[in-house]
Amino acid sequence: MKFKIPEKFQRLKKILIWAVAFIALLQVAYFIIDYYQTKELMKKLAKEKEVEKPAPVLLFNLPVDSFTVVPGQVRSGQNLSDILVSKGISMTKIDEISKKSILTFDVRKMKVNNPYYFFMNKKNASKPEYFIYEINPVDYVVYDLSDSLRIYKEKKPIETLIKSASGVITSSLWNALEAQALDYNLALTLSEIYAWSIDFYGLQKGDKFRVVFEENFVYGKSIGIGRVFASEFVHNKESFYAFRFSQDNEDGYFDDKGQSLKKAFLKSPLKFSRISSTFSANRFHPVLKIYRPHFGVDYAAPTGTPVMSIGDGTVIAKAYQAAGGGNYLKIKHNSVYTTSYMHLSGYASGITTGAHVRQGQVIGYVGATGLASGPHLDFRVFFNGSPIDPFKVKSEPGLPVAKQYMQNYTVHRDSMLTKLNAIKEF
C-alpha cells in the first residue's frame, strides 16, 4: 500500500520549489549585475590610472625625441661641403645634394653665422638622418639624407601681435626706442613713412611720437616690425599724422585730412646721419682753409653708407672731379629740378649716365673722394640750373584719398585716432 502525501503538504512542496527557484533566480540576477558593475568599475579605475602620453616635441616638424640633435653655425669660409663632410657624408652624396638643392635652395648663398642642425640617428650616433639650414629667422631648408634624398623648404609659424608705443625724444629716436626695449627697425619704418614730412636728422629735444604697429614673433622671439597702422609724430610742436589706408589695391600713408604723405622728393638722401655743414654763401672750407660759397648740405656719415636719389629722374652725369667733388652724380628729376651727390666712395650697381632711377633707390655710397676732410655726402639741389637751399625745396604732395573712398577713410581714420589717443601719454 502506497503512502499518500496529504494535499496540504503537496501544496507546501510546490511553494518551496517555487521559493527555491525564485531565490536561485535572484542570485543569478545579482551575480550578473555585480559582474557588469565590477567590469565598469575596473574600466573606470583603469582610465584613472592611465597616464596620457605627452605630445611629441617637434623641431622643424621633426620629433626631437627620435633623434640626437647637433646644432652648429656656418663659419667664415665654410660651405655646405665642409659642413657635411664633418659628419661623414661622402663626396658622392654631397655632389648629389648640391645638384638637387639648386631647385630648392642655392647652397652658394649660405651665410656666415646662420644656424644649422644635424638630426643624428638615435641608435647610431655617427649617422645623420636630416640636415636643416636656417635661411633666415622664418625660412629653412630640410635635407632628408635617406637613400631617396628629399630636399624641401618650410616656414616657421609666425605669430603677429598688434602693439602700441610712445616716447619723447631726449637725444635721439634710437635712444627713445631703446628706453622702452622697442625694435630699432621701428625708427627706420617711421623715418620712411615721414620721409617727405620730417627731417629725422633735425629732431629736437621734446619731439614725441605714438604709434600703433604690428610685431612678428617666431616661437616667442621677435623677428621684426611689420606694418605701421597709425602714428602721430610731434615735431617742432606740430603734429604729423600718418594712417595706413588702401585704395585701388595699393597701400599708402595719409594725414588726418586724407592728403598723401608721399611727395615728389624725399627730405634727405640718407636715412640717418648728421648735418655737418649747411647751405651758405660764405663758408670756411676745411681743406682749402679759405672762405667760399657752399651751395649744398653736408651729411657726415660712415664710408659706405647708402645714398638714395630723393626722387625719380635720369642720371645726366657720372664722373670724378679731382679738384672738388670727387666721385659724383647728377640726376635730372624734371624740367626744373636737378640734384647732385658728391664725394662718393662708389656707385651702386646699374648706375650709369642715362640710367633712370626711382625715388629712394640707392645710387651710391658715402665716401671722402675729392677735396674732403672726412667721409660725408655733399648734397645739392638746383632749380632751373641755379643752386638753392635743399631745406627750402617745396615738394608737391602725391594723390590724396580719392573722393569715392573718403567716407571709408574717415571711418578708418577715426578708429585709428581712438587707438592712438588710448596710448599712454608721451
Tell which residue, 219, 164, 215, 173, has the closest CA to residue 194: 173
Q: Are strands 280-284 and 291-294 parallel, antiparallel or unpaired?
A: antiparallel
225 DSSP β-pair partners? 215
Residue 7: CB partners within 8 Å, gap ≥ 6? none
Per-residue confidence (pLDDT) for residue 288, from 0 to 100: 42
Per-residue confidence (pLDDT) for residue 141, from 0 to 100: 97
Task: Using the structure block, give the residue that is written with the C-alpha cell 592712438.
Answer: 420
Residues 109-142 have pLDDT tens digits of 999 999 999 999 998 989 999 999 999 999 999 9
Q: State pTM to two decimals.
A: 0.67
CATH topology of domain 159-254: Nuclear Transport Factor 2; Chain: A, (3.10.450)
Per-residue confidence (pLDDT) for residue 291, from 0 to 100: 43
Is residue 262 within 8 Å of residue 196, measured between CB atoms?
Answer: yes
CA distances from 147 to 5, 90, 150, 193, 378 (A): 95, 13, 9, 52, 61
Per-residue confidence (pLDDT) for residue 35, from 0 to 100: 61
In angstroms, the CA 6 to CA 61 distance is: 90
Task: Write the CATH number of the domain with boundaries 274-392.
Answer: 2.70.70.10
- For the chain, the structural domain boundaries read 58-155, 159-254, 274-392
In angstroms, the CA 362 to CA 348 distance is: 6
In angstroms, the CA 146 to CA 144 distance is: 6
Residues of the chain with pLDDT under 70: 1-53, 272-274, 276-295, 426
Q: How many CB atoms lie within 10 A of CB 65?
A: 10
Q: How many CB atoms lie within 10 A of CB 409?
A: 18
Q: Which CATH number is correct for 58-155, 3.30.1130.10, 3.10.450.350, 3.40.50.10540, 3.40.50.300?
A: 3.10.450.350
Residue 410: CB partners within 8 Å, gap ≥ 6? 258
Q: Are strands 128-134 and 150-155 parallel, antiparallel or unpaired?
A: unpaired
The domains spanning 58-155 and 274-392 adopt the same CATH topology: no
